[in-house]
Structure 1
Amino acid sequence: MLILSAFFSGMEIAYVSSNKIHIEIEKKQNNFLSGILKKITKRPSKFIATMLVGNNIALVIYGFFMGDLLMEYIPLAGFGGLLVQTIISTLIILLTAEFLPKVFFQIYANSLVKVFAVPAYFFYVLFSFISEFIIWISDLVLKLIFKSEGDTVQLTFSKLELGNYISEQMDISEAKEEMDSEIQIFQNALDFSEVKSREAMIPRTEVVAVDIDTSPKELAKLFTETGLSKILVYNENIDDILGYIHSFELFKKPANLKKVLMPVVFVPETMLVKDVLGILSKKRKSLAVVIDEYGGTSGIITVEDIIEELFGEIEDEHDSIALIEEELGEDHFKFSARLEVDYLNENYKLDLEESENYETLGGLIVNHTEEIPEKGETVEIDKFTFTILEVSNTKIELVELKIIHED
């Protein structure tokens, strides 16, 4: 009876915890198992009711046999004897028929729902009349007292279920040289609604900008050197952005930059990129200045940067920043400090700590040391050793990473 109780408890939690998309895909396989899954999951409430009915019947029968067994081996009379027998019986049930099977079935929910589908269907049919009667009573109570529609079947999947299924497919693809681009785009699309401007922007240190007093001739030369189509213009310093100039405007041969200066959109670091994209679309702009909480320039974000959050890196002939990522050996790498932590975790399975306090590998190190390390300095964070290969006065440029294995 305890085995049956464990089975019913486990299948109940397995169905609730399983990924519904995974089950739906299994149901489309057109084999014997898919047919069984279709039948037991056609009405989720009936399946859950069946498991509950079966569990209760098993526990009642267990109670009869366990009472006789305990009376034989623990012949205590009175209230004290009843209390001891109840505690022992309850502990056995909780351990063997509730806690352990529910933990096990929850961990391996997707697999065990398929493995035990056939015996579950047997009890589904056996207890069908009782389950239907219980559901009818519960629906009646819901309609009369709570004015609810009663038993309904969920026809949609949650974003979490979609995300979990895509993550499973990405884990399966680990052994492949290249992940299916459609899976990656789908995963990016699910994460897109949570991406903030500061996660997608070009940082302040890489922004190309000129002073308002710069001559058009000097600006034309800068356009040629950088290959950019738009350059920001500031007054005195980069924290006071006045606007931007498009390279086409220089064909008008302006006397000074003020004549062709175009207004720019300002957005906070915390604004979601989907909202930034909406603002840029409405104002017919392709560039926005990202500002921090103090009103200073934090960086810039373009429509291209936002699109890259969905489709990955888009390279063109003017992309000049070469980010280094080399695998020097087993668990030994050389990375540009500009690379994002989540990118490294995703592509190299490093499990570096992610935080809202930083986005890049350099940010992770500075967040830990609370200062910019010297060249050649070694920094240990969790199971990782970072050796600083190149550094400037304001940021870390290049690091060597090694994974420390505990013996």
Structure 2
Amino acid sequence: MEISIIILCLILCAFFSGMEIAFISSNKIYLEIEKKQDNFLSRTLTKLTEKPSKFIAAMLIGNNIALVVYGFFMGEMLMNWIHSLPYHFSDLSNLFLQTVLSTLIVLITAEFLPKVFFQIYANTLIKFFAIPAYIFYLLFYFISTFFIWVSDFVLRKFFKTQGDQVQLYFSKVELGNYITEQMSTVEDHEEVDSEIQIFQNALEFSGVRARDVMTPRTEIAAIDLVDTIEGLKTIFITTGYSKIVVYQNSLDDILGYIHSFDLFKKPKTVSEIVIPVEFVPETIFIKDVLKLLTKKRKSVAVVLDEYGGTSGIITIEDIVEELFGEIEDEHDFDEELIEKVVQEGVYLFSTRLDVAYLNETYKLNIPESDSYGTLGGFIVDFTKEIPQKGANITIGIFHFSIEEATNKKIELVKMSIRE
């Protein structure tokens, strides 16, 4: 009988402490969505979580009652066991041994393990145990109400605070975690709902830097200030761009840009229609670039490297695409980025692919760094030069064979993994 009561108390302690940590760790957005399902479980969750402080108090009260009962019966059982031993202990030693043994048992079985388990599976377990938790919530309702009233009185009277307040908002982290969970359940061949994708982009937006979305220096379409209008027209026609960068002597001395509409003004020289640009460092967040360009009523910014040279350019369109996806116009061409599994451990990749994307998609564990973002950048960062076609490069366990390259950049590589 004693053993049965002790086991029951340990189970109840594990349940109460587990539900407490599950409620704290659960995603509040997930719970709100579950509460909107209009079924018995959703109504139970609604009543259970409408006053969080009372729910936590009820779980704490239940946990303490179970611990007191456990301590009474466990102490008596341990004392009988200690007295049955052939050794004689003093009263102080008996008390110490009894305390250590009973504490270790309750900590391992009813505190540490349940809290770890309930924290990992918080969303699932709070639903699974919602009904028994609600029963105990009702059972201890008046006791928890009394203690909440006492704590609120102390807070208002002595600490001049408002007392217990119900949180009516969700944190950015909770929203991000919920969307990430939803995205992880989408199969590779399924299309992600556009609203969900925009939400995810918006949450990641504040952490994106200019160097992550800029058009790199090697791909900038530009014209010298001393070139002719005819030459400018030719560049507009051949590139299909609506904006062309204007420089003096070299791309490290960019003066501004020209919009194709300005050609209707029939200028005689390039300098007549140059629109000044803003200059920003590579490390600036794009949210700050957007704020700057909006304030200055500009649409193009030049991204500078640490030495003051031109690293690339960034436009309003580049920033908006980070939120809403690619914005296509009649001059945009689809650039096919090759990613192909040749055989197990051997891949064919375009070097424009992001290292983070490849690691997430193919589980490659390629080292990531602020010094580069793409696979081509990873290789160049290691070699400190532009490898030519046919070159073979080994970086750690990764072996690269350069399949296509120009004197300015690597285009295509075959990558194999050597353990």
User: Does TM-score exceed 0.5, indicating one fold?
Assistant: yes
Shift of 1:42: 0.7
Match of 1:254 in 2: 267
**Which secondary structure state, in structure 2, belongs to the residue aligned with residue 129 of structure 1?**
helix
**Which secondary structure state, in structure 2, belongs to the residue aligned with residue 288 of structure 1?**
strand
Letter in 2 for 1:272: F
1:58 matched to 2:66: yes
1 CA distance for matches of 2:330 and 2:363? Answer: 30
Shift of 1:339: 2.0
Match of 2:405 in 1: 391
1:182/1:330 Cα in 2 relative to 1: closer, same or farther (>3 Å)?
farther
**Which secondary structure state, in structure 2, belongs to the residue aligned with residue 153 of structure 1?**
coil
Indicate which of 209, 212, 230 corresponds to 2:225. 212
Q: Bigger shift: 164-173 or 140-149?
A: 140-149
Q: How does 1:127-166 map to 2 (within 5 A)?
A: 127-166=140-179
Cα-to-partner distance string for 1:182-227 (whole Å, 9 max, x where unaligned): 2111100111122111111111111122222222222221221111
**Which secondary structure state, in structure 2, belongs to the residue aligned with residue 74 of structure 1?**
helix
1:86 matched to 2:99: yes
Cα-to-partner distance string for 1:52-80 (whole Å, 9 max, x where unaligned): 11111111111111111111222333222
Match of 2:119 in 1: 106
Q: Report sequence identity in percent.
A: 62
Match of 2:6 in 1: none
Letter in 2 for 1:395: K
Give the gaps of 5 or more residues in structure 1.
none
1:130/1:176 Cα in 2 relative to 1: closer, same or farther (>3 Å)?
farther
Match of 2:414 in 1: 400
Indicate which of 388, 394, 405 corresponds to 1:379. 394
Letter in 2 for 1:116: F
2 CA distance for matches of 1:145 and 1:85? Answer: 40
Match of 1:170 in 2: 183
**Which secondary structure state, in structure 2, belongs to the residue aligned with residue 285 of structure 1?**
coil
Shift of 1:378: 4.5
Q: How does 1:311-330 map to 2 (within 5 A)?
A: 311-320=324-333, 322-329=335-342
What number of residue pairs does the alignment pair up? 404
2 CA distance for matches of 1:304 and 1:165? Answer: 28
Match of 2:354 in 1: 340
Give the gaps of 5 or more residues in structure 2.
1-8, 84-88
Shift of 1:181: 2.1
Shift of 1:252: 4.0
2 CA distance for matches of 1:213 and 1:39? Answer: 75
Match of 1:15 in 2: 23
Q: Bigger shift: 357-366 or 342-351?
A: 342-351
Match of 1:29 in 2: 37
1:235/1:354 Cα in 2 relative to 1: closer, same or farther (>3 Å)?
same
Match of 1:308 in 2: 321
1:135/1:366 Cα in 2 relative to 1: closer, same or farther (>3 Å)?
farther
Contact 1:368 1:381 in 2 (8 A): no
TM norm structure 1: 0.91
1 CA distance for matches of 2:148 and 2:367? Answer: 47
2 CA distance for matches of 1:276 and 1:253? Answer: 32
2 CA distance for matches of 1:386 and 1:42? Answer: 58
2 CA distance for matches of 1:101 and 1:343? Answer: 36
1:216/1:353 Cα in 2 relative to 1: closer, same or farther (>3 Å)?
same
2 CA distance for matches of 1:9 and 1:73? Answer: 29
Q: Bigger shift: 257-266 or 37-46?
A: 257-266
Cα-to-partner distance string for 1:240-268 (whole Å, 9 max, x where unaligned): 11111223333444343222222112222
Shift of 1:368: 5.1
1:363 matched to 2:406: no
Contact 2:44 2:131 in 1 (8 A): yes
Letter in 2 for 1:362: G
**Which secondary structure state, in structure 1, belongs to the residue aligned with residue 276 of structure 2?**
coil
1 CA distance for matches of 2:192 and 2:365? Answer: 19
Match of 2:247 in 1: 234
2 CA distance for matches of 1:359 and 1:308? Answer: 18
1:121/1:348 Cα in 2 relative to 1: closer, same or farther (>3 Å)?
same
2 CA distance for matches of 1:40 and 1:91? Answer: 32
Two-structure CA RMSD over aligned residues (Å): 2.3
